[in-house]
Amino acid sequence: MIGKLKGLIDSFGEDFVILDVGGVGYQVHCSSRTLQALPAAGEAAVLSIETHVREDQIRLFGFKSDVEREWFRLLQTVQGVGAKVALAVLGTLSPSDLANAIALRDKAAVTRTPGVGPKVAERIVTELKDKAPAFANVDPAVVSLSGAIDDSRAPRPVTDAISALVNLGYGQPQAAAAIAAAARSAGEKAETAQLIRLGLKELAK
C-alpha cells in the first residue's frame, strides 16, 4: 500500500495533482487547501498518501501532513461522510481548526463546508468529540466548560455571561473560551457582570 509519494509536480486538475515519481505520473486527489499549498509545476513535493482500493479502481488521496491524513480517516468513520465530504471538510478547515470545532461542539464552523448540512455537522462534532482533544490546541477547561454548557450544568452566571457575549456578536466558541478564562481568574462565586467584563478583556487581547 502506498503511504507516501515524493516527486515533481507535473500538472494540476480540478481536485487532483499529477505527481511524477521517477517517470510515473500518479493522479492524487487532494483537498482545495492542499492543492493551494503545493508548489508550481516542475517543483518537488512530498505527499502523505491514503490508498482506496475498489474492484474497479484504485484512488490515491494526498495530504500535506500525516495529521491531515489521520483526520481524513477519522472523518470517514462518521455515518454519511465519504471520501468526497471528508476532503471538502479538510478544504474548508485546517486540521487544528477542525479539532477545535469538534472539541468546542462548533457545528456552525463545520457547516461552512460546501455540501455539509446541519445533520452531518452534528454527527461529526458528536461522534468525533472523544477523539478531537488529542489533536486540538484548546484549553481542556474550555472543552469542559463547553460540554457543561451543552448539558446545562454550568453555573447560571457563566451561561448568562456567555449569552451576553453572543448577543454582542461573538461566536459561541469564542464567548465560551473567554468566559472560561474569566471564570478561572475570578473564581467560582463571580457574578455575571464581572464575568462579562473579564470576558471582554480576554477577547480584546
Q: Distance (Å, rounded) from C-alpha 91 to C-alpha 175?
A: 26
Domain topology for 67-134: DNA polymerase; domain 1 (1.10.150)
Whole-number mean pLDDT of the chain?
A: 85
Whether the full predicted model's pTM is greater than 0.85, yes or no, is: no
Predicted pLDDT of residue 123? 93
Task: Specify the DSSP element, H or E, that contains 167.
Answer: helix 156-167
pLDDT, one tens digit per residue, over 37-56 is 999 999 999 999 999 998 88
> What is the Cα 192 distance to its own chain's centre?
31
> What number of CA atoms fall less than 13 Å from residue 27's CA on the CB side?
8
> What is the Cα 97 distance to its own chain's centre?
4
| Residue 167 pLDDT exceeds 90 | no
| Residue 132 pLDDT exceeds 70 | no
Kindly report, as residue ranges, where domains of CATH 1.10.150.20 are found in the chain: 67-134
Give the CATH number of domain 4-63; options: 2.40.50.140, 1.10.3720.10, 3.40.50.300, 3.30.1330.200. Answer: 2.40.50.140
Averaged over 54-70, what is the pLDDT? 91
Kindly report, as residue ranges, where domains of CATH 2.40.50.140 are found in the chain: 4-63
Predicted pLDDT of residue 51? 95
Residue 58 identity: I
| Residue 27 pLDDT exceeds 60 | yes
